[in-house]
Chains A and B, each alone.
Chain A
């Protein structure tokens, strides 16, 4: 299931790359969102905001993987679980960097808000998603395409892991949840103040914080949880609601409205050629292969190994004695 995001035909970048060099691997879509997974949605929105053309690759069988979302660029891959995730990978590969033009103080604010999102808000979001009452929606997000027995087993396993990580037990659930929601509420207030009336958080340009906040807001506004405390908290801040709704229309092209012209995807630069040895070298004629140190060592070790085995066999034969395989030939003495 991969969707091609083609640039408009009058793309004037003049690049010679093949569209689809950039592939975003996410979990499956649901509830009207291009990807229903709360970790993958910000990455998707980031690429949309950056107006970069990419292919979507859906993987429905890795609900517990920490490596998703991941981005493939030629032979290189950036996983969510390493080195700053997808955003850092895109910056390192020089594909796109939305945070490039920020001043130092803005960067400081950006990092603070991101830390707040990734701790308080993320914890509250995980708690709400993995609550037993919201079981049905959780299964639709993570396990929609897994066979029946696995759904139950993985759902239980992941729920236990999440609740353990959050420190929630049946006894302290009420207290702990209240604490999580309170912190999330504080975070929303702070973001609302920071956003104010602007289109974006910083400089009227989208940044990674916008992708992160938008991803979270859209997730909780669109997924119909049974118990959606966070949605209630979000709706207390009208500017956040407006922000989310207007950008969802522009970036995701809902209600039939086309994607805003400013965000029409453009094809990324071609990836570097993979660093591989020339094919000629792969022709394995042992006699012609240059003798590297490693090979010599290997052969030496192999020789000793064989000699040692032979000695072991001989010792066994001499000291332990063994039965002859096959018919016994009665050794007649020559007479």
Chain B
């Protein structure tokens, strides 16, 4: 995101001042006898320059200097009325004019010179962000003489010679302790609509694999949103946690807004299988084929000053999904709502801040007999895992100190016939359990982070934090669900707390914590304050790696 698109008044004025100062400098340096256009490269800092109504021919240098000086003073002090008469595009061979029209739409609506300069800068950065031009220059020129108070905008571009690009990477998902190899190939601007075609393949060592291909049209039909279409084939292995593997084949079409809104439609064929034949009864009842036809709407606002160590600001995300759209009553039918709110409060000393967050989600089936129908296990909420509390908003899904998918109701798996020699502890002999997830999930956390007093640590951004987080998960519909009561729900809350050191680097963020038995004094331990009897074994130690990219 270009910082110049923030749109705050103070910043705009500063930028304008910069522009006008630069203009003055240019004017003083250049040869005045040209009296012609002043070209400028539009960069992020905003050096787009414009020219007033220059009638430089025939006037001597002194008076043209004075004219320009008085123009710039006028620009700085009062709004100068101007409107855009014509936008001219030069240098595009493949790219259609409509692409430019969509990106330059705001230019047509300007009323003053100041706005024109600001919008030119923004438009330039948007055009560059498309990634299909090697060079992009916006020039502002006087409009035709018979129409005073107008300006022409000239856009000169040079298209990229090599529209192909590729990526290959190795990523780690700390939640599932899995490593994945991911490769992407992109082709930009094949047809001329500044679209990006991409094909991605991803293979994980836990035999998760994904193949997907998609097209993104930026500013589709002039809307401030990109049209993204994607075809996906995905296999996901949840054998270790819930004894099933799911295979998904789907297509999704969505409008991804420039900043806040996002709406998409998704049609997916889902197949849940259990090759190990060890699933518990509830999971066995979930196996089989299903068709998901759903619309999802996301509203997101993130006004925190940083994603990875927020010290000030507020962030909010709300995701609504309605499934079962279609005349066929045999489609999967449910409604799902997820909400998360985060607050970062600076404390004014030692770069300290308190981060508070609360997240909740609910999923319910709809249609006749909805009270007894269970929700599909793939769409339920699961809690637990090692993802960082701060960072991206992911809904009520992380609860430090608990294993991945470790919180909430679980059920005994099918006992295997071959029970070999029993292990030393009871845990080995007991058959494993499947986590079933929940229909209602609530989680919250409070995190206090502060710089450490050592100068060396402060320089490298190493800081400490301590936190407390809580969460709960219950099923609402289906068989074997007891009557839901608020008191029950609140009394079963899992709580965990701890402290640790955070070492941010360019590549990743490392948080470490160890239990006290290791006698390392600078680290503290995570200890769960309370846990439900039924929760799976909790993880006492985890190094947490969040890769930034």
Interface residues of A (CB under 8 A from B): 25, 59-65, 67, 72, 75-77, 79, 81-82, 145-150, 153-154, 274-279, 281-284, 286, 289-295, 299, 302-303, 305-306, 309-310, 313, 316-317, 322-326, 329, 331
Contact = CB atoms under 8 A, between A and B. Distances in A.
B512 A79 contact: no
B541 A284 contact: no
A294 B425 contact: yes
A150 B425 contact: no
A176 B413 CA distance: 44
Contacts of B533: 279, 282-283
A309 B288 contact: no
Contact of A281 (B285, B288, B426, B527): B426
A288 B200 CA distance: 48
B459 A329 contact: yes
Contacts of A289: 425, 427
A148 to B, nearest CB: 5
Contacts of A325: 309, 460-461, 504
A292 B424 contact: yes
B260 to A, nearest CB: 27
B531 interface: yes
A67 B461 contact: no
A184 to B, nearest CB: 31
Range class of the B interface residue count: 35 or more
Given A67-B277, A146-B289, A305-B543, A274 B412 contact: yes
B269 interface: yes
Contacts of A149: 267, 269, 291
B415 A76 contact: yes
B512 A147 contact: no
Contact of B414 (A75, A153, A310): A75
A300 to B, nearest CB: 11
B330 A276 contact: no
Given A63-B289, A310-B512, A276 B430 contact: yes
B90 interface: no
A274 B290 CA distance: 32
A150 B289 contact: yes
Q: Closest 10 A-B residue pairs measured CB to CB?
A: A61-B288, A292-B425, A325-B461, A277-B430, A292-B424, A147-B330, A62-B288, A147-B291, A147-B328, A281-B426
B207 interface: no
A61 B512 CA distance: 45
B331 interface: yes
A284 B330 contact: no
A120 B273 CA distance: 29
B426 A313 contact: no
A323 B506 contact: yes
Given A76-B414, A294-B428, A325-B309, 20 more contacts: A81-B277, A147-B326, A149-B267, A150-B269, A275-B415, A277-B430, A278-B426, A281-B426, A289-B427, A290-B424, A290-B425, A294-B425, A294-B427, A295-B425, A299-B541, A309-B512, A309-B545, A313-B505, A324-B460, A326-B351
If over half of B's interface residues share one DSSP class (helix, strand or loop), that class is named, otherwise mixed; here it is loop
Contacts of A59: 285, 287-288
Given A63-B289, A147-B331, A299-B541, A313 B503 contact: yes
Interface of B: 267, 269, 273, 277, 281, 284-285, 287-291, 309, 326, 328, 330-331, 351, 412, 414-415, 419, 423-431, 458-461, 503-507, 510, 512, 514-515, 518, 527, 531, 533-535, 537-538, 540-541, 543, 545
Contacts of A286: 515, 527, 538, 540
A317 B460 contact: yes
If over half of A's interface residues share one DSSP class (helix, strand or loop), that class is named, otherwise mixed; here it is loop
18 contacts: A77-B284, A77-B414, A79-B277, A147-B331, A154-B289, A275-B431, A276-B412, A276-B430, A281-B427, A284-B537, A286-B515, A290-B426, A292-B425, A293-B424, A294-B428, A306-B512, A329-B458, A329-B459
A87 B426 CA distance: 34
Nearest to A277: B430
A305 B331 CA distance: 46
Contacts of A329: 458-459
A75 B277 contact: no
Given A279-B533, A293-B424, A326-B461, A148 B328 contact: yes
B330 A145 contact: yes
A295 B541 CA distance: 12
Contact of B330 (A146, A274, A281, A310): A146
Contacts of B288: 59-62, 65
Contacts of B277: 67, 77, 79, 81-82
B423 A317 contact: no
Contacts of B531: 284
A306 B514 CA distance: 9
A313 B543 contact: no
Contacts of B431: 275-276
A62 B541 contact: no
A83 to B, nearest CB: 9
Which of B507, B515, B543 is most buried by chain A, counting CB atoms within 10 A of its CB?
Answer: B543
A292 B428 contact: yes
Nearest to A308: B543
A309 B509 CA distance: 12
